[in-house]
Structure formats: structure tokens, C-alpha cells
Chains A and B, each alone.
Chain A
């Protein structure tokens, strides 16, 4: 029971890099057809080419509801429907809260929160045909505060609440909605944050990671969790947030 995804049609946002790319690659490896949606259309095309015939690219800014609707329509045109949506696209601001700019704070919420809303809103009419699964990329930053990540933490907490509401509203339409909460994973997003964290905390990032979560997680590990939740193996799981954090949030120290 290795989360068989044969026959499934998936849309993954922010799929050109990092976690989204790992999710798309694992979905393809498990037999799904995947629409690689990303703000950077060229990168999306490259990733789709790398993943082979089962993957197709589409340029998509999830902050724009019309573009998300168009991405869903592309999946329907290509494959006649959609079974899985992974709302993964997200951006970060790494600054003290009072230094967040009005505009960048707004843009972060447009992508991280409204992007998830747009995905749920536009995929639901299509998923409702035959049932389906939505997996939202939240974060342990949605479970507790972290320095320099004010807007990001708030946006991920919002993703968790959206996940719950969608889960209970859509249950009778046979659509499951769950979230994943990773901690620090080996991605370019975390790489960008490292020097800022070190300046703010005075602790080498490697020391912090070793203490709190033993090591950086791998994008492939997050992908395993996402694909499990997207698969029929998780039929009874709905409205949940599944943490993978090397023990970070489970420990008081």
C-alpha cells in the first residue's frame, strides 16, 4: 500500500521548485498525471519536461483567482477532470514584524491565504464530480510563532482554519481537505532565511536545527506525507493537519 496514485489527475501549485516540485515528482512516480502550476512559466515548463509525459506545465499566479480557475480548466481540458489539488504555492517575508511593509504583507496573504482559497473555490466544482482530495501546504509556523516570520506564521495559521472549514463543508461532496505542517526543510526558502535567523537569534542555524529537529527535513519526506493524504489510503482523514517536524513541536525543550 504505497499510496497508489495511478489514474489520478493532480494540480500542484508552486510546483517548479522545492516542496511543490518534490510533490509533483512523487505523484508522477506513483502513477498520477500532474499539472505543474507556477508563477514562473519557464521553470514550470522545464520541470514538466523533466518529469516526462505525465506532467504538463501551466503558468499561474495563485493570488489571481482567474488564473487559478484557468489552471483548473487546463487540467479539465487535458484530462477531463481533476482528482487531487495540492495548494502548495507560498512566499515568505523574513523580517521583524514591525518592519514588514504594508504592500509585501498584503502580497504574502494574497499568495499564501487567498491562493489556497482560490484553489479550493475553483477546484471544488470539478472535484465534486467524482470525489477528490485537497492537500494544503501549511507549516509548523501555523502552530506557533517564530521570529521574523510574522506574516508567514499568520498566513499558515489561516491556512489551517481554511482547511478545517473546507473539510467540514465539502465532506458530503466526498472531497477531503487536509493540511501538512512541515518544519525546516532543505529548500531555497529556508536557505534564504538562514542568515536572517542567525542574525536575529545569535545561534548558528545548524545548532538550532540539531537541537529542535535533529536535521533538516527533505522535500521528498514532505512529499510522502502529501501523497499519502492525497491517496485513497487516507479516506477517513479529513480536516486534519499532519505534522512532520523531526519532533520540533512535540517537545517542550
Chain B
């Protein structure tokens, strides 16, 4: 522990499991007070309880009012919001030919609308104080076509664009906004669903990445972008995929 984020207050959404949990842990290990927000309050409490300075909060990121309350509550309790990790969404799996408009809307809403709420409310609080750093989690699916995930991939492309517009608007107000695009990572619930959808994900991962990433590896990148080491970085897209996107084949 090097106290990179001593006296900083961070919020991580959807932080009870997977990438969100790993981000909460990485930020807390560097000294930040971390608000572990999740729709599942019990699980959020369990994660927060394991951190040096974790606080659990109930938040359904699909509900703009709850996201507003999360940010307001953080400001009231801690007086500042320095880092927001905008982690949202899950993926359903569906062939495009069978995808209903309801499913399209459900998945894009759960990812992109939720990211909008989280980024907007966090940015408003940061602009009103002394700035801050927002790190959005997208995915390599936002960078290229992905079978069975048309809605999820489109939403992730939307999160990349939203990040860059937010960064362009907020730069002069001291708010940095960046986006991380992980490749295939251990524990991602989309992997078994793609497998069930008929894809051989073991072979896909072996060919494109060689191995799965770990949530902790992605969290170390989020940690870098969250803090002052990345103070000149904003509006940029950071891919972490062991070379998948670098290769044509």
C-alpha cells in the first residue's frame, strides 16, 4: 500500500461482484474511502466490511433517482467525491434475428442509460467541488462487432462515446473522464451465456488472448486512471485485452 488515494473518496457502482468488487478493493488498498454501491445491499455490506475503509450503499443504477441519492449521500457523509468508477450492466445473449425490442431496450438501458446516470450525477458533484476523476467500464465489445451481443456491444460503444463527450465538456471544470475496455475476464457472467449460445469460448479465449484476464488486473488499470498519476489523461480509451484487438486474425 502506497497511499496513492489517501483522503480521497471513491464510489464504485455494481461493486458487490466481479470487476466492481476488484476496483473497490484496489482503491481501498490505496487509502481511499470507498462507497461500495450495489442493488444487493447485503453483498455490498460483505464487500465493504472486508475493506480498510468501505461503506456499503444500496443503489439500483437503472433508477436515476437512486443514483442521484447515492451521490448526494456520499457528499453529505464524506464532503467530497473524488473518484467514480462507473461500472454498470450485464449482458443477455441473443441472436439478432430473435432479439426483441424489449430485450434490446432492457440491455441498452442497463448499460448505457445507467452509465449516463452515474457519470452525470458524479460529474455534477465533482464540478460543484474541486473536480475529480471518472472511470467508466466498457468492453472490447464496444470496439468491434460481437455475435449474440448486438445490444450489449452497442451499449458499450455508447459508453465510449459518452465518456469522450463528457470529457470534452468537463475538462475545463477539472473533471477527467476515461474509459476502460477489458477483454475476456474471469468470472464475467457473459462467458457461460455465450457458451450456452453455442460459442466455444474456451477456444475463442485461447486464440484471442491466450488466457482470461483477472478482475484484479483490470482494477490496477482503473486505479492508475483514477488517481493523479493519470492527471493528463482524459477522454481516452484504454484497452486491456492481452493483444486481442491488436490482431487482425
Q: Closest A residue to B239 by CB, please name it.
A: A240
Chain A residues with Cβ below 8 Å from B182 are 236
Q: Does B109 touch A at the CB level, under 8 Å?
A: no
Q: How far is the CB of A216 from chain B (nearest CB, A)?
A: 9
Chain A 1-36 against B: per-residue CB contact (8 Å), 1 yes, 0 no? Answer: 110000000000000000000000000000000000
CA distance A236 to B221 in the complex (A): 9
Chain A residues with Cβ below 8 Å from B217 are 235-236
CA distance A218 to B239 in the complex (A): 23
Chain A residues with Cβ below 8 Å from B242 are 171, 236-239
Chain B residues with Cβ below 8 Å from A164 are 243, 246-247
Chain B residues with Cβ below 8 Å from A237 are 221, 239-240, 242
Residue of A222, A239, A250 near B247 (CB, 8 A) is A239
B223, A1: Cβ atoms closer than 8 Å? yes
Chain B residues with Cβ below 8 Å from A168 are 243, 246-247
B243, A172: Cβ atoms closer than 8 Å? no
Chain A residues with Cβ below 8 Å from B183 are 236
Q: Does B188 touch A at the CB level, under 8 Å?
A: no
B168, A247: Cβ atoms closer than 8 Å? yes
Which of B90-98, B126-134, B146-154, B229-237 is the interface stretch?
A: B229-237
Q: Closest B residue to A182 by CB, please name it.
A: B232
Residue of B163, B210, B238, B241 near A242 (CB, 8 A) is B238
Interface residue tally on A, bucketed by range: 35 or more
A1-B2, A233-B220, A244-B232 given; A251·B167 CB < 8 A? yes
Chain B residues with Cβ below 8 Å from A245 are 232-233, 235-236
Interface residues of B in 162-184 (CB under 8 A from A): 163-164, 167-168, 171-172, 182-183
Q: Does A41 touch B at the CB level, under 8 Å?
A: no
Q: Does A252 touch B at the CB level, under 8 Å?
A: yes
Q: Closest A residue to B247 by CB, please name it.
A: A168
The listed residue with most A CB atoms (<10 A of its CB), out of B26, B163, B242, is B242
What total of chain B residues lie within 8 Å of the partner, measured CB to CB?
A: 41
Q: How far is the CB of A214 from chain B (nearest CB, A)?
A: 6
The listed residue with most B CB atoms (<10 A of its CB), out of A234, A237, A246, A249, is A237
Residue of B29, B224, B241 near A233 (CB, 8 A) is B224
Residue of A171, A217, A228, A250 near B243 (CB, 8 A) is A171
Q: Closest B residue to A223 by CB, please name it.
A: B229
Q: How far is the CB of A138 from chain B (nearest CB, A)?
A: 13
Interface residues of A in 86-135 (CB under 8 A from B): none
B236, A2: Cβ atoms closer than 8 Å? no
Chain A residues with Cβ below 8 Å from B240 are 234, 236-237, 240
Q: How far is the CB of B243 from chain A (nearest CB, A)?
A: 4
Q: Closest A residue to B179 by CB, please name it.
A: A250
Q: Closest A residue to B163 by CB, please name it.
A: A250
Chain B residues with Cβ below 8 Å from A251 are 164, 167-168, 171, 235
Instruction: Spell out A's residues near B (CB within 8 Å).
Output: 1-2, 163-164, 167-168, 171-172, 214, 217-218, 221-222, 224-225, 228, 233-240, 242-253
18 contacts between A and B (CB under 8 A): A163-B246, A172-B210, A218-B232, A221-B231, A221-B232, A225-B229, A233-B221, A235-B217, A236-B241, A236-B242, A238-B242, A240-B238, A240-B245, A244-B232, A244-B233, A244-B236, A247-B171, A249-B235
